[in-house]
Amino acid sequence: MFEELPAASLDVAVSVSVGSVPLSPGVVMLAFSGPLTELDPSSASLGSADGPVRPPLSWLRLPDSQGRLLLLLAKAQPAVTPGAVLHVADERGLEDSVRIVGEASLPALLGTTDPATLLAVLRFIAAKATGILRLSADGDLAQSCHYLAHSLRAPERTALPVALCGHDLMMWRLPDGIHAGAGAHYALGRRSLRRVAVDDGTLILPGRQFEGGYLLPAEGERPIHLAPAGGRLPTLSDLGRRKDPQSLALYRRGVAELARRATTGESAPRLLRDLQLLAPVEQSQHYAAPDRPFGAALEMALSDHAGGVFLRGWIRDPLHLIARLSLHCPYGERQLALEEMHRFPRPDLVKKYADAPHGGIGLRPGFALHLPDGAPLPVAQWRLRLGLTTGDTIDLTAPPGITHAQSARDAVLGAIAPAHVTPEIMARCIAPAVERL
């Protein structure tokens, strides 16, 4: 692959040539072989008559069937153009001058068409392009990577589009066996590259940018083709309204991925809110029969529009069967302590439970609580889970909790009868929520 040029034919004594391939007008890859594979990248010095090779520089040692290769990925510059004589040295004493020779393609540069080797180099290029080189939007580089990935395509390594997430996002279901893994995943579109997250066998990307592109998985010997949609796809909301387990599982995965992105992206929180508003409304569930040994209800769980949630309900537990409480939403759960709830009387319930066989409603069955950080993402409906001393659990579902700010403010102000609003309830529950609304 690398021809040896006689020193007499050069203006500078050159012992070996180094291959190069332009990946785009702004990026070039060089391949060092022979003794130069022992070059120490941490102390390497590279330069030519045009001056030193400017950073950033990224190196990769690659095993080869006939030895090893040392790859260099760099910004295009006069010092690394074909025909230039490159002086190479490091602090360990290695020193040489090499002629840069252009190669026709990346496989020709590497001297192999082995899929695993080419995929490893593709991962390296994608990692550096989306990292230190900051070339995620280099369309020519993306096209070069896409072309090479296409040459490695295997029919069984295909991800199928399953849903639209908003106007510009598409969700793919990946082939079996593709999971988050220990390494990074990269998506190759025809005009851009990006590092992506894979969650439980699904992937969400801008459809128009990556439809027909490829995923470079953290593990495996072949890229995964991101198949284009053959027709109209269902929306994520459509999947949530279906009854079959596969659709519901895909819906939950999509919501979970959007929730993960909501901490860093601007559009994900709004899309999550809209999905929650369009999700099927569950009927409110109370545990209120007087003949039961305990009872409870989560009557109100309202977003304060600033990352918090206001709760109001009641608990009747004369026999102390309730051992723990937890608040649940599509994004997880939060343990609650009975001691942190602010209690107040509920005279409207006294008559209903006056003759209950296991005991009445008690003096202060009502509870209120404001969790200032309880709802960082939009939640349509909350559930309160009661953990009993027997190990059993009971889920209570609140009415829908995403409302207009003024409506939520009025509801919080009217949540507790004025006669039962203590200074502590006002200061720690009502006022903080109303202030945000």
pLDDT of 101-132, one tens digit each?
998 889 999 888 889 889 999 999 999 999 99
Question: Please, what is the average pLDDT of the chain?
Answer: 87
- Determine the average pLDDT of the residues in 200-212: 85
- Determine the average pLDDT of the residues in 58-82: 85
Number of domains in the chain: 3
Q: What is the pTM of this model?
A: 0.72
The domain containing residue 160 runs over which residues?
147-277
Instruction: Say if 121 falls within a structural domain.
Output: no
According to the model, what pLDDT value does residue 63 have? 74
Asked if pLDDT for residue 165 goes beyond 90, the answer is no
Final residue in a domain of this structure, among 233, 251, 277: 277
Q: 432 with 299, same domain?
A: yes
Instruction: Say if 37 falls within a structural domain.
Output: yes
Final residue in a domain of this structure, among 50, 81, 110: 110
Q: 74 with 189, same domain?
A: no
132 φψ region: left (φ > 0), alpha (ψ -120 to 50), beta (else): alpha
Instruction: Say if 2 falls within a structural domain.
Output: no
d(CA 180, CA 201): 8
- Determine the average pLDDT of the residues in 396-413: 88
Q: 299 with 418, same domain?
A: yes
Instruction: Say if 282 falls within a structural domain.
Output: no
Instruction: Say if 302 falls within a structural domain.
Output: yes
Q: 238 with 319, same domain?
A: no
According to the model, what pLDDT value does residue 180 have? 59
Instruction: Say if 118 falls within a structural domain.
Output: no
Q: 105 with 195, same domain?
A: no
Q: 159 with 270, same domain?
A: yes
Cβ(309)–Cβ(371) below 8 Å: yes
Calculate ∠ Cα 144-108-219, nearest 5°: 60
Q: 344 with 396, same domain?
A: yes
Final residue in a domain of this structure, among 242, 277, 312: 277
Q: 328 with 269, same domain?
A: no
According to the model, what pLDDT value does residue 6 have? 32
In the chain, the percentage of residues whose pLDDT exceeds 70 is: 92
Q: 181 with 268, same domain?
A: yes
Calculate ∠ Cα 172-174-180, nearest 5°: 110
Banded pLDDT at 167 (limits 50, 70, 90): confident
Q: What's the first-to-final CA gap in the chain, in angstroms?
A: 70
Instruction: Say if 268 falls within a structural domain.
Output: yes
Q: 254 with 307, same domain?
A: no
According to the model, what pLDDT value does residue 67 have? 55
For residues 270 and 310, the model is more confident at 310
Q: 181 with 271, same domain?
A: yes
What is the per-residue pLDDT across 328-340, written as a single tens digit (0 to 9) for each? 987 788 999 988 9
CATH (domain of 19): 2.60.40
Q: 31 with 92, same domain?
A: yes
